[in-house]
Amino acid sequence: MSEMNQVVAQPQGAVAPAQDEKAMPTVTLLPPVDIVEDAGGVTLWADLPGVTRDQLEVSVHDGNLRIEAQANVSMPSGLRVQHAEIRQPRFARTFSLSPDLDSTKIEANLQDGVLRLTIPRREAARPRRIDVSVS
C-alpha cells in the first residue's frame, strides 16, 4: 500500500471568500491511519472523529482503495462560535492496493469514530508450509 493523497483546501459555494467574508473554506483532511500486515492480509484503522455511517464512503476502483467522509460537528445549544478553523471537516485518503490483496473480500467496520478495514490476502499469495519428506 502507498499513500496517494494530500491535504487540499477548496472554496465552499459559488461566492469567492473575498466577496463574502463569512464563507469558510471546505478543508479536506488526511485521517491518521494505522496499518498492520500479517500473513492473512492487511488491517487498516482510520481515525474519523464525528463521522457517521451514512456520511462515510469506502470504495475500490482500479486497485485503489478510497476513504471519503464528512464529519458532523454539532455545537451545544446556547453557545456561539467565536472562532472555528474547521466547521465541517471532510476526510479523504487513497491507497494503492497490492495485487496480492483480495479487494472483493474487504470488511469494513465503523465504531466510535474509528474505521477498521480488513483486507485479506489472496489465497495464492498466502504463505504456505511445504512438507518435506525424508527418503
12-25 tens-digit pLDDT: 333 334 444 455 56
The answer to whether position 16 is within a domain reads no
The answer to whether position 46 is within a domain reads yes
Task: Kindly calculate the radius of gyration of the chain based on its CA atoms and give it in whole angstroms.
Answer: 20
* Burial class of residue 51, CB neighbours in 10 A (0-12, 13-18, 19+): buried
Total domain count for the chain? Answer: 1
Is the whole-model pTM more than 0.85? no
The answer to whether position 100 is within a domain reads yes
- Helix/strand/coil for 124: helix
The answer to whether position 19 is within a domain reads no
75-121 tens-digit pLDDT: 788 888 888 777 778 999 999 999 999 999 999 999 999 999 999 99
pLDDT given at position 4: 45
Residue 101 sits in a domain whose CATH number is: 2.60.40.790
Cell numbers for 97: 492496493
The amino acid at residue 87 is R
The answer to whether position 37 is within a domain reads yes
Range(s) of the domain holding residue 56: 26-73+88-124
